[in-house]
Amino acid sequence: MTEEQLATLYRNHGPAVFRRCLALLGNPDEAQDALQEVFLRAWTKSGEFRGEASPTTWLYRITTNHCLNRIRGRKRLTEVKPEHLTAGPSSGQAEARRVLAALMQRLDETSARIAVYHFLDNMPQEEIEEVMGISRRTIGKKLKNIRELSRRLGAQPGARG
Amino acid sequence: MDEAGHLSDFLLDRLRAGDLDGPREQEVRAHLAACEDCRARAAALDGQAAEFLAGTEAPADFARRIAARRSERVRTSSMRPLGIGLAAAAAAALIVAYGLMPSEKGGDRIRTKGSVDLSFYVDQDGSGRPGLAGETLREGDRIRLAVEPGAHRFAFVVSVTASGEVTPLYPEGNGQSVPVTAGERSLLEGSVILDAYLGEERLFALFSDRPLGAEQVVAAARQALNGVREQDEPGVQSLHRLPLEVSQATIWFRKE
């Protein structure tokens, strides 16, 4: 990937990447830093992109992985609090962030990503399948477990199935 | 489309970026024409995007800054594309300098005479201690890799993480397998500084008689990862082989 191609990628996708970083991390400065890391990783891993159908899908995945790692990294310093997952673009996401904050430290890697796409991005299962590359059956099974866990934690997720 | 019958931000992002295929783009545009809520959401996202781009540095400046960070990182980590394994004598000297051979602890590195192997050393104050399979390392730790290619002449080392990251290490980026000396243990040039991605990480060394391409290796790693992630307890510990018909050695560690 050339510098010019990276600039084009940023122009087309930077706003969405930043929006998701901010929604996940809840802090504009950290979201800016994450934005740079996502594009740095995208450039470093541009060879990987050749097999992808959509740059949006690819960048969604890198963004989710990077932000979840940042959130998990906080665990060593402090518990994740709901405010770490605030400042999303729509008021309807407040509940999703609250649910995610409650679930984040208790889910395996795959389930945490499914939870982000489902609760924060409001993606239906076929779109989660597209982004993650795992079967709908697995997604459905894990979502069921996530819902059970969220009920035990007293965090009620949205109604989308 | 969600259960309420509205377009997700993911689809709207894809529409704005122009990466929906023809029929899907038509479907999304048809929905937008008929749905006031989705038109409003699309307009809001367009507005946010325009505001973001107007309020931040120009894309060309951003790309320039990322390019500078990238070259800085590559220099820092000494992960230059290799091109060669170490000459046998130099490798032997380095292994002496690095002390004992890495431990066999971990149970997944059973070796036989003439077999292939992958091991790592953790760099500490200019000398290396042998890394243990399954040991816990930290962000910023520097490791060096050693390979035994058996009778093979080419090696490719790739990293896979439980979070689904696939990263070619040797060679870095988009190259082909690096030449190594058959029958000789080689300490690979440069060291790898571990990044902030936490959790389990597994390294695979792929040994072949013809160079493998990065695309082929990354695709195989992704396929293997997808298989593991379908399991109830996904993790790279249980991933012992990539779906490639070449000799392989693997080792894993955990980052905390």
Give the ipTM: 0.84
Q: Which residues of B touch A157 (CB under 8 A)?
A: none
Q: Given B3, B62, B173, which is nearest A161 (Cβ)? A: B3
Contact (Cβ atoms closer than 8 angstroms) between residue A7 and residue B62:
yes
Q: Which pLDDT band, with edges at 50, 70 and 90, does A47 fall under?
A: low
Which tokens sit at B65? 């800054």
Domain ranges of chain B: 9-55, 80-255
Task: Decide: pTM greater than 0.80.
Answer: no
Q: Which residues of A touch B16 (CB under 8 A)?
A: 12, 16
Task: Give the tens place of pLDDT for each residue, A108-147.
Answer: 888 888 999 988 888 999 999 989 888 899 999 999 998 8
Distance (Å) from the C-alpha of residue A154 to the closest C-alpha of chain B? 24
- Domain residues for the domain of A46 are 3-152
CA distances from B210 to B82, B83, B236 (A): 16, 14, 27
Q: Do A36 and B233 touch (CB under 8 A)?
A: no
Closest CA to A116 of A104, A133, A130: A104
Q: Do A14 and B214 touch (CB under 8 A)?
A: no
Task: Give the tens place of pLDDT for each residue, B74-123.
Answer: 433 433 333 233 333 333 334 444 433 444 344 444 444 458 889 888 87
Q: Which pLDDT band, with edges at 50, 70 and 90, does B149 fall under?
A: very high
Q: Is residue A160 part of a domain?
A: no
Rounded to the nearest integer, the mean pLDDT of chain B is 78
Q: Which residues of A touch B168 (CB under 8 A)?
A: 47
Q: Is residue A54 part of a domain?
A: yes
Q: Given A19, A51, A161, which is nearest B48 (Cβ)? A: A19
A24 vs A16: CA distance, rounded Å: 12
Q: Is residue A16 part of a domain?
A: yes
Q: Is residue A157 part of a domain?
A: no
Helix (H/G/I), strand (E/B), else coil: B144: strand
Pick the residue with more confidence: B32 or B234? Answer: B32
Pick the residue with more confidence: A80 or B204? Answer: B204
Given a cut of 90, is residue A10 above it in pLDDT? Answer: yes
Q: Do A54 and B174 touch (CB under 8 A)?
A: no
How many domains, in total, are found in chain A?
1
Q: CA B156, B160, B161 angle in degrees (round to 5)? A: 160
CATH number reported for the structural domain that contains residue A60 in this entry: 1.20.140
Given a cut of 50, is residue A160 above it in pLDDT? Answer: no
Question: What's the CATH number for B80-255?
Answer: 2.60.40.2550
Q: Which residues of B touch A73 (CB under 8 A)?
A: 139, 196, 198
Task: Give the tens place of pLDDT for each residue, A86-114.
Answer: 334 444 555 666 677 777 778 888 888 89
* Axis crossing angle, helix B22-34 with helix B36-55, rounded to the nearest 10: 110
